[in-house]
Structure 1
Amino acid sequence: MKSHPLLNKLMLLLLVLAITPSAFAQNKDLPNVVILATGGTIAGSADSGTQAGYTSGQVGIETMIAAVPGITDLANVTGEQVSNVGSQDMSVEIWLKLANRINELLATDDVDGIVITHGTDTQEETAFFLNLVVKSDKPVVTTGSMRPSTAVSAEGPLNLYNAVAIAANTKAKGHGVLVVMNDQIHSAHGVTKTNTTSVQTFMSPMHGLTGAVIYGRHEFYSKPHGIHGLDSEFSVHGVTSLPRVDIIYSGVDTPADLVDLSIKAGAKGIVIAGVGNGNMNAATLAACKKAAESGIVVVRSTRVPTGYVLRNAEVNDDENKTIASDELNAQKSRVLLMLALQKDRSLEDIQKLFYTY
């Protein structure tokens, strides 16, 4: 059957509309922002407005957008539901889907910025992952909430409003992935969750805030630390999985066989959430040295909230063939190591990654 040129053009147009948000009800004077929803507390609900227990990921993105007065005055907003899970169930599979969709959207002229709604438990990890693999300088902002949508004084709608305001502003270009919560702007590199229930849970203890945002009005204080975005060497294009990296938490008399069990389970890398300056007991250190000599990459991080893990300080990293995490906490060290292990690298090269990312 012979194809018709006009029919072919129509089919191509429909395909473009299917993969890009050009179906915005567009105001040409406003930027175009796509909200990619993954679930979390911001999409959670409970039986009453004052109970502590709730179920994450119950509300769809269109409902969330409709609950934010004035959001369409900031930008032409569309939403996509990438997943709808509590962030404790965030996965590498969702990460890869999310990253590739962001790169696909930002590669078009139709999209000026991206907002990701996300649960707070692993938000810093997702933000840091995206910070390393998003191939654009356009604004990418993650946000969430500590209270479900049904709670008295739920902060999710204002967080979402502020996140869209940042994503819609060209001044946010080149800042890498940002985390907007509780009127504050954090960098993906520096931010961490510090409280189990408080709305003031996210802080950037090493480098401080990137900026502030109040009812959409914002100011940037500084540029984020570390390589990110277009300057990053990492890519997940065509990637379907990442190497397994485990975190082992160090404490008094930590069993050294945890290292062996992790390797037997298939780990290609291990991050030690060490005590103090990335320390561990003698038995665990010996197990780590043995693992490193067999080709497993071992990173010394810390369970302490702030500070650097220094190379060759209390632990001789040269002798033990271990990597010092510098200022990255254990969970972000794991993210960086998962990406680093996509190809063969020397220990010297991996150590350099921890200093520069």
Structure 2
Amino acid sequence: MESNAPKILILTTGGSIAQTWPMDPTLSGEDLVQAIPELRDMASISVEQVAQVLSSDISVEDWLKLACRINSALSEDDIQGVVVTHGTDTLEETAYFLNLVVESEKPVVVVGAMRRPYSLGADGSANLSNAVAIACNPNARGKGVLVTLNSEIHSARDVTKTTSNLDAFKAPGLGPLGYVKFANPLFFRMPTRIHTWASKLHLSSSSLPRVAVLYSYAGVTPDLLEAAAVSGYEGVVWAGTGNGNLPKPLRAAAGEAVRRGLVFVRASRVNFVVVERNDEADDDTLGFVTADSLNPQKARILLMLALTKTTDPAKIQEFFDTH
């Protein structure tokens, strides 16, 4: 490896990409890198294990630890980019959290695998190789946190897991930023929402407020919302039907919860919807926030971070409109 080769830090957290046993990700970060000798030809690689869990077990504490390490690493002049390996179940959540709190223009690429290493047609090695190629590429700079699987490059804000097939990660209604072809990242569009170094939501505390996601369904009653309002939650994201709709009994309960100080965000359980203000609810009068195009799980992350800055629904709405 040449001395001027790009230096890439790989941070590993477990997940299917490292899972050699059905319920346990056992491969270390070094194991993953050693299985792909070509990586050492692409970059000067260093590896650190941040966690070793299935992504269903990723915690807010893991997010904070990961963000702290990434910001520290990217502040070093010789580190060109960071790759994070992650299980796919909550990969989009970790990626979007990092998209809001990383303080650098340098590339951060989150990658996983849909098939375990011992499976026929395992995709982890190709995905990890593509992630390193993206992190090394100068054109990846300034585009926010990126996600790559199946040779596609996605914005962390837009992407979501849609299936259990190899092409699981999509950006409904928007599409990928680009593709990786023969280890060459090709970009075709730019994210326009505020992210990473320009974000107004950088970490300012060592903990995050509690925010719940509540899901709408036919016949839903206000019980769970009322329970959340008295159980220490500072915010609730409503995964509503259609345009973030909520039935009349919930509307009244949500309005009362807002009057008591809870922040209430209307999102949608539909795969891709831009939730419009003052359409299915009088948001201005009721003091609701609308999630724009964020899905409920990402709206929760933005709300958690916004609540570290303000509890004013109007100011929180500004974060949703711009980030």
Q: Give the TM-score category using the shorter length.
A: over 0.9
- Contact 2:137–2:185 at 8 Å: present in 1 too? no
Q: Give the Cα separation in 2 of the matches to 1:139 and 1:69.
A: 22
Q: Does 1:83 align with 2:51?
A: yes
- The corresponding residue for 1:317 is 283
- The corresponding residue for 2:253 is 287
Structure of larger gyration radius = 1
What stretches of structure 1 of length at least 5 have no aligned partner?
A: 1-25, 47-53
Q: Give the Cα separation in 1 of the matches to 2:137 and 2:277.
A: 40
- The corresponding residue for 2:105 is 137
Q: Give the Cα separation in 2 of the matches to 1:324 and 1:109.
A: 39
- Contact 2:310–2:316 at 8 Å: present in 1 too? no
- Contact 2:11–2:48 at 8 Å: present in 1 too? yes
Counterparts of 1:32-47 in structure 2, within 5 Å, are 32-46=7-21
Match of 1:121 among 89, 100, 111: 89
Q: Does 1:246 align with 2:212?
A: yes
Q: Give the Cα separation in 1 of the matches to 2:191 and 2:110.
A: 15
- The corresponding residue for 1:258 is 224
Q: Give the Cα separation in 2 of the matches to 1:99 and 1:71.
A: 24
Counterparts of 1:165-244 in structure 2, within 5 Å, are 165-195=133-163, 197-236=164-203, 239-244=205-210
Letter in 2 for 1:219: L
How many angstroms does 1:265 deviate by?
A: 2.1
CA RMSD of aligned residues (A): 1.1
How many angstroms does 1:42 deviate by?
A: 0.4
- Contact 1:100–1:236 at 8 Å: present in 2 too? no
What stretches of structure 2 of length at least 5 have no aligned partner?
A: none
Question: What's the TM-score once normalised by structure 1's chain length?
Answer: 0.89
Q: Give the Cα separation in 1 of the matches to 2:85 and 2:70.
A: 13
Match of 2:270 among 295, 301, 304: 304
Letter in 2 for 1:192: T
- Contact 1:190–1:206 at 8 Å: present in 2 too? no
Q: Give the Cα separation in 2 of the matches to 1:127 and 1:266.
A: 26
Q: Spell out, residue by residue over 1:103-147, the C-alpha distance to the aligned partner (whole angstroms, 9 max, x if none).
A: 000001121100000011111111010001000000100000011
Counterparts of 1:53-64 in structure 2, within 5 Å, are 54-64=22-32
Letter in 1 for 2:241: V
Q: Give the Cα separation in 2 of the matches to 1:56 and 1:331.
A: 25
Runs of 4 or more off by more than 4 Å in structure 1?
A: none
Question: What's the TM-score once normalised by structure 2's chain length?
Answer: 0.98
